[in-house]
């Protein structure tokens, strides 16, 4: 998951508050976005989890079973998640994972991957998609959502083409405000 340049490609920890705001929750409600895909007992990878905006809601949606792997390139983002869940029941359901500079590095098999506003931060999409294929269970799904205000439709469609060529079957194009989205399944 090597970014082209940390200062221009990856959202810095100092801006984490903007990723976890009440206003964002109104526009990008995690439960509304993820309800069709999350079932108790699943293992979910929240790729580029940031301060845990989606991670924490996913863990709650899993009820009493399953787990969330909160993966991020920045230790500071993982520390923010750790602080939020410390001493709570969610601590048992959320595994924190620091990605390496050029790979995710998760060895557990997962049922679902959420890549929310993160793929555009990765320089080598093909390498990312190939690694995601090794992480996903057969039949596993991945939801990629990219910011429409930052990623052009043409760039997004090029990314979807690479995604499909990497062996994922596009199954839907969910609507998300101000975003481009694709849902795909591993055969």
pLDDT in tens, 91-135: 999 999 999 988 999 999 999 999 998 999 888 999 999 999 999
In a domain, 161, yes or no: yes
The confidence score (pLDDT) of residue 9 equals 67
- Domain count for the chain, please give it: 1
Give the mean model confidence (pLDDT) for residues 34-62: 94
For tokens 């009820």, the residue is: 63
Q: pLDDT above 70 covers what percent of the chain?
A: 86
Q: Which domain holds residue 102?
A: 16-186
Mean pLDDT to the nearest integer, 48-67 = 91
Q: Is residue 44, in this structure, part of any structural domain at all?
A: yes
- Is residue 1 situated within a structural domain? no
If pLDDT is split at 50, 70 and 90, which confidence band does 150 have? confident
The CATH number for 108's domain is: 3.40.50.150
Percent of the chain with pLDDT over 90: 69
Stronger pLDDT, 38 or 5, i.e. the higher one: 38
Return the higher-pLDDT residue of 27 and 18.
27
10 Å Cβ neighbour count for 29?
12
- How many other β-carbons are positioned within 10 Å of the β-carbon of residue 86? 9
Asked if residue 60 is part of any domain, the answer here is yes
pLDDT of res. 82: 96
Residue 2 lies in a domain: no
Instruction: Assign 179 to helix, strand or coil.
Output: strand
Question: Is the model more confident about 76 or about 19?
Answer: 76
Euclidean distance between CA atoms 79 and 82, whole angstroms = 5
The string of DSSP codes covering 94-156 is: EEEEEPPSS-----S-EEEEEEES-GGG-S-HHHHHHHHHHHEEEEEEEEEEEETTTS-HHHH
- Domain contains 100: yes
Name the residue with higher pLDDT: 14 or 159: 159
26 exposed, middle or buried (CB, 10 Å; 0-12, 13-18, 19+)?
exposed
Residue 20 within a domain: yes
Asked if residue 50 belongs to a domain, the reply is yes
pTM (two decimals): 0.86
Please, what is the average pLDDT of the chain?
87
pLDDT of residue 19 exceeding 80: no
Q: How far apart, in whole angstroms, are the C-alpha atoms of residue 137 and residue 4?
A: 29
């Amino acid at each position: 998951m090597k970014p082209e340049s940390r200062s221009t490609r990856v959202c810095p920890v100092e801006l984490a508050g903007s990723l976890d705001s009440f206003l964002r929750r109104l526009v990008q409600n995690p439960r509304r976005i993820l309800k069709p895909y999350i079932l108790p007992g699943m293992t979910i990878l929240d790729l580029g989890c940031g301060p845990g905006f989606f991670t924490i809601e996913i863990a709650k949606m899993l009820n009493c079973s399953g787990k969330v792997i909160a993966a991020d390139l920045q230790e500071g983002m993982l520390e923010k998640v750790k602080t939020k869940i410390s001493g709570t029941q969610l601590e048992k359901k959320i595994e924190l994972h620091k990605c390496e500079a050029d790979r995710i590095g998760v060895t557990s098999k997962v049922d679902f991957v959420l890549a929310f506003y993160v793929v555009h931060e990765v320089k080598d999409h093909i390498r990312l998609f190939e690694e995601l294929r090794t992480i996903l269970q057969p039949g596993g799904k991945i939801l990629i959502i990219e910011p429409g205000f930052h990623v052009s439709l043409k760039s997004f469609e090029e990314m979807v083409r690479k995604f499909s060529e990497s062996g994922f079957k596009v199954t839907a194009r969910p609507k998300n405000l101000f975003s481009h989205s694709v849902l795909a399944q591993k055969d």
